[in-house]
Amino acid sequence: MIDIHILPKKAQNELIDFYQFLVERYRTGQTKNKMKPNKDLNNITAFFDGYNIDLSDFKLNRDEIYDR
């Protein structure tokens, strides 16, 4: 067993995020259906849906950045 509680909070969060990434990547279709939907993920997705902006016409001007 890995004791992540001895790590700083930021490192703990990184490990948890990586674990969730691996679970999403490697679980089978049967396991996927049995798992509960992630409530936090739904909340985060709903929050950012309001900020979807079309940046297709955006062009980065590097000279302008360096002038500041």
pLDDT digits (tens, 9 = 90+) for 45-60: 888 877 877 778 888 8
Task: Output the CA torsion 28→33→36→42 (10° steps).
Answer: 90
Residue 36 lies in a domain: yes
Let me know: does 1 contact 9? Beta carbons within 8 Å: no
Res 30 pLDDT > 70: no
The structural domain count of the chain equals 1
Residue 64 lies in a domain: no
Q: What confidence score (pLDDT) does residue 63 get? A: 82
Residue 21 lies in a domain: yes
Residue 41 lies in a domain: yes
Domain ranges, residue 25: 4-52
Residue with the larger pLDDT of the pair 33 and 9: 9
DSSP letter, residue 68: -
Let me know: does 30 contact 41? Beta carbons within 8 Å: no
* Of the candidates 21, 14, 15, the residue with the CA atom closest to the CA atom of residue 41: 21
Residue 23 lies in a domain: yes
Residue 57 lies in a domain: no
Token output for 2: 């890995």
Residue 42 lies in a domain: yes
Residue 60 lies in a domain: no
Task: Output the CA torsion 48→58→63→66 (10° steps).
Answer: -10
